[in-house]
């Protein structure tokens, strides 16, 4: 372990930070070893969230909205990191990471010291956030990035893996996303600590927000805030930025979160197994069954 | 194959032609690399900061505006100033043969013109990633002999 590199990263050198994060992502650096060996300055725990996942369907405006939120938070002196996740090709393992195209706040000379953006490919992970991101978030905290926003892969109704990693979950919706029944369906929305209906400049946004709120009120536990924003016209953004910064944990889904954590760790165990490639080949030619494969990979 | 390399593809300056950059990005993606695309009209400084924060091993610059003689060496200078001398830089677009020697001596290690087979770019990436000391700040005369 290159302790010099890690200490430089903790002391604010951005290239060392980027390299350390690569090491964690590639498995050449281990977060527990770093915690044991590096000189980590004592930081006061604000008691508020350290990681916030922003998720939602492709095209609802997550990147544009995040860009505006970053501007406001960084402008108020908060050091904020964005981990932007995009999918890897299941065929070749390659990825096109394009989230930076829409994020321009980091180009602002007055803000760039307070913003760090890193694009991350899902690699082998099947969820909308790979589990290793949790370790990357942990290191960013050590290096003084007090708040970390995770932009998940564009997600449908049932992709709740981000619950395994982030302290809070914000679901971004668009206007006119189906009839009122959509808001009643089980899934991602049940785990949301807040919902933002973006593109409020378009028809149907207010109605959709009302439907969501009604649906939440029928359920158990605290009702999460439902906010309207237009990243395009910059309306509702500063209100949302304030509300999100102090967002309380609705505590609606503690068991569900642990379920996701358990699944994510179990999946990682299988994906990291040295026998995986051989087992896949055996499965492909039909010489073993799925049950036999599971017993070999993680069934002890 | 050195898979999973992180490669930034950037469009410096006032130039809206991104077909070539997108084709190259797609080729690299399909070869198993992680490609970070910057989008259009980036300054040299913005590109260098992206390479730094993304921990990219390679940087590809695309220019069809004719400003390559100014922009490419500026990016190379800033990379070296920022301590990123080991990043390997290649370029593409409309770059006349006469302009290339000066760009190579500023630290660019390959220039690909129109008609370059995409495989050749992958061969360059493979070759350069297995060589020592071919970053933008390296004291070497080596550069890729491209076919177009």
Structure confidence by residue, pLDDT tens digits, B27-47: 999 999 999 999 888 899 999
Q: What is the pTM of this model?
A: 0.90
User: What is the pLDDT at residue A117?
Assistant: 96
Do residues A47 and A147 lie in contact, with contact meaning Cβ atoms separated by under 8 Å?
A: no
User: Does one domain contain both A23 and A153?
Assistant: no
Gap between the Cα atoms of A214 and A212, Å rounded: 5
User: What is the pLDDT at residue A25?
Assistant: 94
User: What is the pLDDT at residue B44?
Assistant: 92
Which of B34, B37, B50 lies nearest to residue A94, judging by beta carbons? B34
User: Does one domain contain both A154 and A236?
Assistant: yes
Question: Dihedral angle at the C-alpha atoms of A179, A180, A182, A186, nearest 10 degrees?
Answer: -170
Nearest 5°: phi and psi at A178? Answer: 85, 180
User: What is the pLDDT at residue B2?
Assistant: 43
* Domain B6-129: CATH architecture, name and number where available: 3-Layer(aba) Sandwich (3.40)
Distance of residue B78 Cα from the nearest chain A Cα, in angstroms = 14
User: Does one domain contain both A7 and A113?
Assistant: no
Do residues B142 and B112 lie in contact, with contact meaning Cβ atoms separated by under 8 Å?
A: no
User: Does one domain contain both A135 and A279?
Assistant: no
Q: What is the pLDDT along chain A (300 residues), one digit of tens a residue?
A: 889 999 999 999 999 999 999 999 999 999 999 999 988 887 777 778 999 999 988 888 899 999 999 999 999 999 999 999 998 988 888 999 988 888 888 888 889 999 999 999 998 777 778 889 999 999 999 999 999 999 998 776 557 778 788 899 999 998 866 555 555 565 778 788 999 999 999 988 998 899 888 888 887 777 889 999 998 899 999 999 999 999 988 776 677 778 888 888 888 888 888 888 899 899 999 999 999 898 888 654
Which of A21, A100, A123 lies nearest to residue B39, judging by beta carbons? A100
Chain A interface test: which of B10, B27, B53 (most A C-beta within 10 Å)? B53
Gap between the Cα atoms of B8 and B29, Å rounded: 11
Q: What is the mean pLDDT of residues B129-143?
A: 91
User: What is the pLDDT at residue A24?
Assistant: 95
Domain count, chain A: 3
Query: Is residue A90 less than 8 Å (CB to CB) from chain B?
Result: no
Strands B6-10, A226-228: parallel, antiparallel or unpaired by DSSP? unpaired
- Among candidate residues A24, A40, A56, the one where a domain is terminated: A40
Q: Write the CATH number for A95.
A: 3.40.50.300
Nearest C-alpha neighbor of A138 from the set A96, A175, A167, A108? A167
Do residues A230 and A236 lie in contact, with contact meaning Cβ atoms separated by under 8 Å?
A: yes
- The end-to-end CA distance of chain B, in Å, is 24
Every domain of chain B and the residues it spans = 6-129
User: What is the pLDDT at residue A300?
Assistant: 46
Distance of residue B126 Cα from the nearest chain A Cα, in angstroms = 15
Query: Is residue B30 less than 8 Å (CB to CB) from chain A?
Result: yes
Query: Residue A257 CB: number of other CB atoms within 10 A?
Result: 21
Q: Do B54 and A119 lie within an 8 Å CB cutoff?
A: yes
Gap between the Cα atoms of A59 and A26, Å rounded: 30
User: What is the pLDDT at residue A34?
Assistant: 93
User: Does one domain contain both A142 and A228?
Assistant: yes
- Among candidate residues A233, A252, A271, the one where a domain is terminated: A252
User: What is the pLDDT at residue A182?
Assistant: 58
User: Does one domain contain both A94 and A206?
Assistant: yes
Domain housing A29: 1-40
Going from the C-alpha of B92 to that of each of A216, B12, B17, the distances in angstroms are: 53, 12, 12
User: Does one domain contain both A55 and A194?
Assistant: yes
pLDDT at B1 over 50: no
User: What is the pLDDT at residue A198?
Assistant: 93
User: Does one domain contain both A94 and A241?
Assistant: yes
Distance of residue B101 Cα from the nearest chain A Cα, in angstroms = 30
The number of residues in chain B equals 148
Would you say the C-alpha torsion A279, A285, A286, A288 has a positive or negative sign? negative
Any bridge partners for residue B34, and if so which? A95, B6
């Amino acid at each position: 372990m290159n302790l010099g590199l890690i200490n430089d990263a903790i002391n604010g050198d951005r290239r060392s930070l980027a390299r350390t994060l690569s090491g964690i992502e590639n498995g050449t650096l281990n977060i527990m070893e770093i915690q044991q060996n590096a000189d980590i300055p004592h930081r006061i725990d604000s008691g508020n969230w350290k990681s916030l996942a922003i998720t939602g369907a492709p095209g609802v405006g997550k990147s544009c909205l995040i860009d505006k939120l970053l501007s406001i938070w960084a402008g108020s002196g908060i050091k904020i990191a964005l981990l932007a996740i995009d999918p890897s090709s299941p065929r070749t393992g390659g990825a096109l990471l394009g989230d930076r195209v829409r994020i321009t706040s980091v180009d602002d000379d007055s803000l760039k010291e307070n913003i760090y953006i890193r694009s991350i490919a899902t690699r082998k992970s099947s969820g909308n956030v790979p589990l290793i991101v949790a370790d990357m978030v942990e290191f960013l905290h050590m290096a003084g990035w007090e708040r970390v926003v995770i932009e998940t892969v564009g997600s449908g109704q049932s992709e709740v893996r981000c619950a395994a990693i982030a302290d809070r979950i914000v679901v971004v919706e668009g206007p006119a996303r189906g009839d009122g029944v959509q808001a009643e369906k089980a899934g991602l929305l049940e785990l949301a600590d807040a919902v933002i209906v973006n593109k409020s400049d378009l028809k149907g946004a207010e109605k959709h927000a009302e439907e969501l709120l009604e649906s939440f009120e029928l359920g158990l536990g605290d009702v999460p805030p439902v906010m309207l924003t237009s990243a395009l016209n910059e309306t509702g953004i500063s209100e949302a930025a304030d509300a999100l910064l102090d967002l309380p944990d609705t505590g609606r889904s503690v068991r569900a979160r642990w379920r996701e954590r358990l699944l994510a760790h179990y999946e990682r165990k299988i994906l990291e197994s040295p026998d995986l490639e051989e087992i896949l080949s055996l499965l492909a030619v039909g010489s073993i069954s799925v049950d036999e494969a599971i017993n070999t990979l993680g069934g002890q | 194959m050195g898979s999973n390399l992180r490669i930034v593809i950037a469009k410096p300056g006032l130039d809206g032609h991104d077909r070539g950059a997108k084709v190259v990005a797609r080729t690299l993606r399909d070869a198993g690399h992680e490609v970070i695309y910057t989008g259009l009209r980036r300054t040299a400084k913005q590109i260098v900061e992206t390479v730094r924060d993304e921990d990219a091993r390679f940087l590809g610059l695309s220019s069809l505006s004719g400003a390559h003689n100014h922009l490419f060496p500026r990016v190379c200078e800033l990379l070296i100033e920022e301590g990123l001398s080991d990043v390997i830089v290649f370029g593409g677009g409309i770059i006349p043969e006469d302009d290339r020697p000066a760009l190579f001596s500023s630290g660019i290690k390959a220039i690909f013109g129109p008609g370059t087979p995409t495989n050749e770019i992958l061969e360059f990436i493979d070759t350069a990633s297995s060589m020592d000391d071919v970053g933008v700040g390296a004291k070497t005369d080596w550069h890729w002999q491209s076919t177009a």
